[in-house]
Structure 1
Amino acid sequence: MNTAGAGSPLSLVNAHVDVVILGGGIAGLTLALQLCQSRPQLSVVVAEKVTPPIPEAAHKVGESTVEIAAHYLRDVLGLADHLDQEHLNKFGLRVFFSDGDNTDISRRRELGHAVAPPQKVGTFQIDRGRIENALTQMVSELPQVTMLNATTAIEVLMDDEADHVVTLRSGAADRQVRSRWVIDSTGRAAFIKRKLGLSEKVGHRANAVWLRVATDIDVDDWSSDAEWHDRIRESCRRLSTNHLMGHGYWVWIIPLASGATSIGIVTDPDIHKFADLNSLEKAIAWLDTHEPQCATAVRSQLSRVLDFRVMHDYAFGASQVFSADRWCLAGDAGIFLDPLYSPGMDLIAISNGLIVDLIDRDYRGENIEETCAIHNEMFKIITDGWIQIYAGQYPTMGNSRIMIAKIVWDTAAYWAVPGLLYFHDLFKRLVDHPQIVTGLAQFSVTSKAIQAFFRQWAAVAHSDPTSHDQGEPFLSFYDFEFMAPLHSGMTAEHPDEELTKKFQENVELVEFLSGQLIATVFEEWTSSSATTQQREQVTQWKESPLLTSLLETFERLRDTVMIDPGWITGHKSRQLCSKDT
């Protein structure tokens, strides 16, 4: 194992390497592995403040992966065996919406998979301690990598022409390392971001508290209703990332391969005060009020609680994450948005790929300024678009009808655009695909408009009890005819000329779905039963040129696309009702 302490060769002053990675968590370790796979001749130092092994189960959150992250870990990094043997295959996202006092989960509206998705788009529940220990072992055994454990960065002297000089401290000993590239993967410590004043607010406020319990907590045990159990035809609910959702909050329940369970409460601070949640006792009391079945499950296992953590106002941004001056921000050292939909590891996957691309181009002797600017712009388009998914949306979580439509739209858009691009390794090649760059910008504009539409729809509907809880008690993602093709379509392996066409078709499909959503709500809110407030809101919406354009796309395509509006009204597609979905 190529690890180093204070007495290693790298304790010598002015040692020189190609890349120094500050931070040996999952972002830094996966980056080191990917760098060495891409360019084996690189010399890399990873400086990590903790000495491994780190504890399993009660280490870090971020245990649930979605498709981009799973593809990165499994296929890009080649960790399929480790994931299959040491972690759990995830049964997708699952949401239970509030019903009365939430004392009977079988009465709550449910959205999730009924059958397992195809393996090529399979995802995982990962134990962060277990995977980071494994990655540390893998990276340490690479001959071109030196792991410096129990080591922190004291100073980084940037030089846009010569090597950077990084001062590292291990115990009482300091060492200097000269490096062409420096990558900040220090998480929320954000060493370089703070040094360069790159922090940005993101317009989203939320808080989270969480605990890990050293036993299985299985939502299937919360009801004996046979019909409710029979909804799931493959796998089991326990393997899903289960969400208990209500007005201004959601609770996650995630199983871990060690047999432990991760439980978190995420809230809008304007609806649920952080002071009512920021201790284990307060969090359980809050669950007593809002999620009593979960509270009962936790109370029965109090002696097995492994930890309790809190994070106040967790979302943050960065004005820049990649620099042609040969530094970058990776993982939480740059941007963190929200745990809903598990985007954290996705952003690591995308940004690590772009960092590797920049370093590779630099070592080939290319001028990377233009590429770096494009990478920054595209990454900002992605993160600026994704933050709108969360900002001001937590009040919507109390309305199952609107939230189901939103989750379906969000998921379809994710599979159709960023998922398709990532599975085809296109983010780093966008400079060569101007049509896709244009389409991505167009998609971003549509996404922001529809997220605003969801917020406004929910704000007006909040005062109308008849708008809540409409539709069927259980809906599967594949109950809607466009979802399964989008999901499996990410893995289609299109050649570039076909990919551009498919991407444009997917962007148009997202615009069609957006127009269909608008048209459906317009029709309901201009009917004879509509309230004055609903009619006034429609009048305001009609003044938006963008919403009008999306409506026109829907009208132009509705006779050829033929998608049932059940995803908006909360009903299975009529085209699929007779099929076993």
Structure 2
Amino acid sequence: MLKYEIENETETSSQVSQISQIKADVIVVGSSISGLMTSCYLKLKLPHLNILAIGPRPEQEKRAYVGESLTEISIHFFWEIGLKDYLDRTHDRKNGLTFYHKLRIDDPNDYRYSVHAPGESLYYHSRQLNRPIFDRDLYHHAVQMGVQFLDGKVKEVNIGDGKNHHQAIVKTATGECVQLSARWIVDATGHHRIIGKKVATYNHPETGQRSAFWFRLADFNEFLPQLELSMRRPHEYDLLHSTHHFMGHANWIWCIPLQSSDRRNLISVGITYRPDLYDRPMQTLEHFLAAVESEHPAVAAMVRSGQILDMHSYRNYLYSADRVYSANGWFLVGNAARTVDPLYSTGLAMTALQIQQITEIVRRDLANTLAMDDVEALSSLWCQITARRQVDITDQYVTMHDPFSAHLRRYWNLNGWWNAILPLWWCGFLTNPQGADGLMGLLQGGEKSERAAWDLFRDASTQIGAAESRHFEQTFDFDQIINRRFDRPIHSIPQQLSRYFLWRLKMRFKLMKRLGWQQQVPQIRPLLLDLVRMLAVKYLFRLKFKSLFQTIDPPLCFDCASAAKQDHLSSIQALLP
């Protein structure tokens, strides 16, 4: 039974039946994973608010589930809402992202791969979500936290103007019409974008679109024994328990091991590609196998050995909203805000970041300290981070098959994640309006510098020609780039950000030296720009954010260090004979 105030309107001549009225503080439209995450987090951080989520139980709705690979932000998010023990028991351990670059992508008989992944164990371990199970259990967790649910579909929405509350008409599963009103409303309806289409303008890129085909596979023979792998050093963990990426011509394949309730061998397998560059048909399992056998026959053999549980596909699915939050109290989260390429598994991480930003906006609104500029700063920062990442990934498809160029792009991108995004998020800069506004300056004007680096990577690959394993050992050590302990105090932020720019400098300088200075004039200006930014963040960042360093609140209120220590002890025990 709902705990909200419920009233019945008197029938008028224009009404066929009575309409119940429900008043809540926050309406979350949608009960998929982004809606459940939003509901749980708001209830955790602002427990006095009435949170009402609209939608059916996950198991009662047909959904295009995909194996979900969590990353640092999303795993901490779920730990904080109380799911660490549950995740450890129920979902497969993830040791990081593993990328397989085939040395001869056009030769089906060549099984040699250069493997790029952390050699040393990560400090914080994530999980691979078996989504049908996880979504069901997350729903029950939300109920236990005090989130209320209304099983129905939204038929009409009227967005308030800040003075007047938002209104929604819902037709319940029993056929009753219910009128809802709330001060804040969240669109978590995925590609339906029930609210988003009313309040935002969506951009659908004409070039660089993305399509995907995927399925879950059970009772299969593993692919690793068939591969000839070369890597800088032996891994300290079981490589199988990773998120696997096989790179090809304008496409990449994911393989995500999952834990199932009956302990069967289970894995999510899929392909993401740019349809403007990849002209193979991709609508059936036969299409998938024909394409994959030509580049990665070991993956095709694994698929043929197992049992397909379900299949799904999206075509030309990329879009993005021009704004995702409003001072009038509406918010777009997850796929209602934008769709992403899952190459780096940051979809749920960016959703978690959004939810933390939304919670900060609502908190300030309740305290009457919210300024319109606060909302704009957080919205703009999130849109800028996600847009820059997707532009970069879009360009990668041109050289995704090129093992040497592609692995340099990987290191360049992950340097930004480990040494910039994660420390800034951990210390609260991405969820604080003043921090977000200041960081926009660091993000602006970097497009030419990025593209110059991409050109540099292509030139280096051209010089090498047909790459061999030894060539990768002559570049950079990924374990040195990774910032495993990004969870340091706020006073370390200048040092961590300067490390980010230092690695960019090292990569440019080493490759420019290798190619010959006289041919690298276009790289001089980006090199100097990174040098200036490295010195600026090291010596001036603290001055720029002087007041913020004293008052900023990190988004997490959970003993993550203790949780990580437990993970380390369990991983060490697992390696003992």
TM-score normalized by structure 1?
0.81
Counterpart CA distance in 2 for 1:401 and 1:8 is 67
State the Cα deviation string for residues 485-539 of structure 1 (Å, max 9, x = none): x122x122x1x4x1xxx32233322222223332333333337xx9xxxx3xx34
Instruction: Tell me by how many angstroms 1:254 deviates.
Output: 0.5
Structure 1 residues 229 and 418 mapped into 2: Cα distance closer, same or farther (>3 Å)? closer
2:166 and 2:536 map into 1 onto residues whose CA distance is 56
Of 313, 316, 320, the match for 1:313? 316
Q: Give the 3 Å change call, closer, same or farther, for CA 8–102 of structure 1 in structure 2.
A: farther
Name the CA distance, whole Å, in 2 between partners of 1:541 and 1:465.
17
State the secondary structure of the residue aligned to 1:113: coil
Deviations 1:456-475 (A, max 9, x none): 2455567x373442553877
Find 2:511's aligned residue among 499, 508, 521.
Answer: 521
Find the counterpart in structure 1 of residue 467 from structure 2: 469
Alignment-derived partner of residue 153 in structure 1: 154
Does 1:97 pair with 2:101? yes
Which of 40, 55, 59 does residue 48 from structure 1 map onto? 55
Q: Hey, what does 1:564 align to over in structure 2?
A: none
Alignment of 1:381-460 (within 5 A): 381-431=384-434, 433=435, 437-439=437-439, 441-443=441-443, 445-446=445-446, 448-457=447-456
**Structure 1, residues 396-454: CA drift from partner, whole Å, max 9, x if none?**
212222222221221121111111122223322241x4xx75455325544x3453134
Counterpart selection for 1:33 from 40, 46, 62: 40
Once the 2 structures are TM-superposed, how far is the Cα of residue 365 of structure 1 from its aligned partner? 2.8
Cα deviation code 1:195-215 (max 9, x no counterpart): 224212456422211111123
Amino acid at match of 2:119: A
- Residue 395 of structure 1 aligns to a residue whose secondary structure is coil
Counterpart Cα distance in 2 of 1:476 and 1:43: 58
Residue identity opposite 1:262 in structure 2? S
In structure 1, distance between residues paired with 2:7 and 2:289: 48
Query: Would you say the 8 A contact 2:114–2:231 is kept in 1?
Result: no
Aligned to 2:530: 550
Matched to 2:397, the amino acid is Y
The percent of aligned pairs where both chains have the same amino acid is 22
Tell me how far 1:552 sits from its aligned partner. Answer: 6.8
Shift of the 444–455 alpha-carbon distance from structure 1 to 2, 3 Å rule, reads same
Q: Which residue of 1 aligns with 2:497?
A: 507
CA distance, structure 1, for counterparts of residue 285 and residue 477 of structure 2? 39
Instruction: State the match for 2:66 in structure 1.
Output: 61
Instruction: Tell me how far apart the structure 2 counterparts of residues 312 and 514 of structure 1 sit (CA, whole Å).
Output: 35
Counterpart selection for 1:221 from 210, 225, 236: 225
Question: What is the match of residue 374 of structure 2?
Answer: 371
Q: Which one of 79, 82, 90 corresponds to residue 78 of structure 1?
A: 82
Aligned-partner Cα distance in 1 for 2:378–2:55: 27
* 1:237 counterpart = 2:243: no
TM-score by length of 2: 0.82
Displacement after TM superposition at 1:246 (Å): 2.1
8 Å contact 2:117–2:478 — kept in the other structure?
Answer: no
Give the root-mean-square deviation of aligned CA atoms.
3.3
- Residues 104 and 222, structure 1, Cα contact 8 Å, conserved in 2: no
Contact 1:182 1:328 in 2 (8 A): yes
Name the residue aligned to 2:295: 290
Aligned to 1:134: 137
Contact 1:248 1:398 in 2 (8 A): yes
Q: Partners in 2 of 1:476 and 1:71 — Cα distance?
A: 35
Which 10-residue stretch deviates more, 547-556 or 350-359?
547-556
Mark the runs of 5 or more structure 1 residues left unpaired by the alignment: 558-581
The whole-number CA distance in structure 1 between the counterparts of 2:478 and 2:230 is 20
Question: Deviation at 1:341?
Answer: 0.3
> Is the alpha carbon distance of 1:263 and 1:425 closer, same or farther for their aligned partners in structure 2, counting shifts above 3 Å?
same
1:266 aligns with 2:272: yes
Q: What amino acid maps onto 1:162 in structure 2?
A: N
Shift of 1:323: 0.5
- 1:386: how far off? 1.5
Within 1, Cα distance between the matches of 2:327 and 2:528?
Answer: 41
- Shift of the alpha carbon at 1:253? 0.6
Bigger Cα displacement from structure 2, 319-328 vs 397-406: 397-406
Contact 2:378–2:431 (CA under 8 A) maintained in structure 1? yes
Distance 1:8 1:387, change over 3 A: farther
Query: Whole-Å Cα distance in 1 between the matches of residues 58 and 496 of structure 2?
Result: 46
* Distance (whole Å) between structure 2 residues aligned to residue 370 and residue 230 of structure 1: 48
Specify the alignment match of 1:566 in structure 2. Answer: none
Unaligned runs of 5+ in 2: 10-17, 538-577
Shift of 1:163: 1.2
Q: State the SS of the aligned residue for 1:238.
A: coil
CA distance in 2 between partners of 1:504 and 1:323 (Å) = 31
Q: 1:102 to 1:552 in 2, by over 3 A?
A: farther
Deviation at 1:307, TM superposition (A): 1.4
Q: Deviations over 1:155-204 (max 9, x none)?
A: 11112111111111224332111111110000011111112242124564
Q: Distance in 1 between matches of 2:413 and 2:246?
A: 18
- Summarize the Cα distance change of 1:93–1:279 in structure 2 as closer, same or farther, 3 Å threshold: same
Does residue 342 of structure 2 align to residue 345 of structure 1? no
Return closer, same or farther for 1:399/1:471 CA change in 2, 3 Å cut-off: same
Check conservation: 2:19, 2:177, Cα contact below 8 A: no
Q: Please state whether the residue corresponding to 2:309 is helix, strand or coil.
A: strand
Superposed CA offset, 1:32-63 (max 9, x none): 111111111111111115553568xx852251
Give 1:170's aligned amino acid: T
